[in-house]
Amino acid sequence: MTLKRSILLLSALLISGCVHYPVNAPVRSANPQSGYRFQTVARTNSDDLLLMLAFSGGGTRAAALSYGVLEELRQ
């Protein structure tokens, strides 16, 4: 009896996690000429431009990928 209850409770918890999801408000309009976009920023060639990169992962392969990308960007 306890095993059945545990399985039923576990099933209910797993199913209830998929029931609700937040709905974002739809975007009504966007101006492609404003904001921080690659097309508008890439045209300027100044020392004031700051570019930040974020690499994900915590293993050796992720570190090797990040290092390779940075080496290619440097060249």
Q: Is the pTM of this model over 0.85?
A: no
Query: Using the 8-state DSSP alphabet, how is residue 33 labeled?
Result: T
Are residues 50 and 57 in contact, defined by beta-carbon separation less than 8 angstroms? Answer: no
- Between the alpha carbon of residue 57 and those of residues 18, 26, 63, the distances in Å are 26, 31, 7
pLDDT in tens, 26-72: 888 888 777 777 666 666 666 776 777 888 888 899 999 999 999 99
